[in-house]
Structure 1
């Protein structure tokens, strides 16, 4: 675990300084999860599925008075940092060492120490390498293809971990969440598993959803249709960081129209 100062001066625990600073730019400067009308009201509960080391949890806790955050992170090396950041910043809420899936089970996750945000249950080394190359190209356009490939390969040495996943409906009941102001899902190809782990009646508890979607096999369309069927206004966008990849951010809201972007 490393401890750094974020650009705003905040002390923060992380696994990798460069990764933490890139995530900070995406979350705090680009405000990638607060687009298309998504916002938090005082007293909201945020459910953070795929919490990583807690940068989004920190951001959410600052968005409005009295926000409570329930963060879920299954990988032990990442969870230990998440837990430390909850303690350091007195983030209201709870961090739980589990992932989300359709059934309660123990499954294998891949942990990338140098690219922890890409860690997940459905890691695909070839696809992950291509994704990292494109993400690096978008940020560092002057690097040669050979340099990009080398950097990507170094950052994608994976380690297997056995992790527990549970249906989100079960977790909400256990924690005592009756209303979800925002459900944020960033789980590297497992987004459908998360959404489909919610039982029908539990959808009525959720006001807003933000999902990072890997658009393979028409997944963006599938999730858009699912959320519209549940009564949400839905929009999506692809930020400059994700250009040339299959990654999109999808925004859904019952509180207000989610905006016209991406329609």
Structure 2
């Protein structure tokens, strides 16, 4: 697998298959670190579970911000991406950081993922090229707050182009992405089964970026395990009413829910902290 070495703004060098994508992901990762999440990480020995770790940028940022105090479990199901994750975590190798080649879901077993080597961050059990995703991207282009804060990968020039032109460009990009996609069968476990296996009694921060499978991950938590989770940082794709279902689920479990709409029609970032 051909990889590139990329120096991030924090001077950390990582490996990825696409030269510029790591810098974009690094900027997007910063959006998770709101004051509440920073507070959850400020305790002494913290345990973090990173679901959808991709190439490891969230985990690396947690290590940097905690001075290496965190114990982190990274979950990445795609074999090629998992290899990059291991490569990027190697300089921080210790018993505190563990990479697991699996996804989290409602039940343990296997699932077929759409894997995109050209943009590994959108690999998913779900179709990430659906019509609602195109509409969300178009909405983001013309909202400067969203584009600057969460979509560093969108060229600034696009906001000055007519909607029809951008629609055509997105269609072309979607065609190019789909040409490179493959299907990969990956292992799944549930968060509760993992906690049992590792004898984890408390998770200070649960981060989920599962590309439309966020509800699947949450539904894999047994009722008795919710109280063991201190804070959740969640990127949620709000389709088929999932936004409201997830919000209601979390409120019922005693969480305070903060939302920051990343795209007017699609994606929300939620940061929750247990009362």
TM-score range, shorter chain: 0.7 to 0.9
Q: CA contact under 8 A between 2:137 and 2:263: conserved in structure 1?
A: no
Comparing 85-94 with 136-145, which one deviates more in the overlay? Answer: 136-145
The structure whose residues are more often helix, as a share, is 2
Structure 2: any 5+ residue segments left out of the alignment?
142-146, 148-153, 159-164
Map of 1:218 onto structure 2 = 241
Q: CA contact under 8 A between 1:43 and 1:64: conserved in structure 2?
A: no
Comparing 143-152 with 116-125, which one deviates more in the overlay? Answer: 143-152
How many angstroms does 1:127 deviate by? Answer: 3.7
Give yes or no for the alignment of 1:187 onto 2:213. Answer: no
1:32 aligned counterpart, secondary structure: helix
Give yes or no for the alignment of 1:79 onto 2:82. Answer: yes
1:193/1:129 Cα in 2 relative to 1: closer, same or farther (>3 Å)? closer
After superposition, give the CA deviation of every residue in 1:187-237 in whole Å (9 maximum; x if it has no partner): 011111100101111111100011111111221111111111111111110
* Aligned-partner Cα distance in 2 for 1:196–1:210: 16
Structure 1: any 5+ residue segments left out of the alignment?
256-263
Map of 1:33 onto structure 2 = 32
- TM-score relative to the length of structure 1: 0.87
2:171 to 126, 143, 149: 149
- TM-score relative to the length of structure 2: 0.83
How many angstroms does 1:142 deviate by? Answer: 2.0
2:254 aligned counterpart, secondary structure: coil
Give yes or no for the alignment of 1:99 onto 2:103. Answer: yes
After superposition, give the CA deviation of every residue in 1:17-39 in whole Å (9 maximum; x if it has no partner): 21111111122xxx211226222
How many angstroms does 1:88 deviate by? Answer: 2.3
Comparing 139-148 with 3-12, which one deviates more in the overlay? Answer: 139-148
* Aligned-partner Cα distance in 1 for 2:195–2:45: 17
Q: CA contact under 8 A between 2:71 and 2:97: conserved in structure 1?
A: yes
1:227 aligned counterpart, secondary structure: helix
Map of 2:220 onto structure 1 = 197
* Aligned-partner Cα distance in 1 for 2:191–2:119: 25
Give yes or no for the alignment of 1:249 onto 2:266. Answer: no
How many angstroms does 1:243 deviate by? Answer: 3.0
User: Any residues of structure 2 matched to 1:1-263 within 5 Å, and which?
Assistant: 1-27=3-29, 31-35=30-34, 37-39=36-38, 40-41=41-42, 42-65=44-67, 66-90=69-93, 92-127=96-131, 130=134, 133-134=137-138, 137=141, 138=147, 139-143=154-158, 144-145=165-166, 146-156=168-178, 157-238=180-261, 242-254=262-274
Aligned residues between the structures: 249
Q: CA contact under 8 A between 2:140 and 2:263: conserved in structure 1?
A: no
2:221 aligned counterpart, secondary structure: coil
Q: CA contact under 8 A between 1:129 and 1:153: conserved in structure 2?
A: no
Query: How big is the alpha-carbon RMSD for the aligned residues of Structure 1 and Structure 2?
Result: 2.1
* Aligned-partner Cα distance in 1 for 2:224–2:196: 12
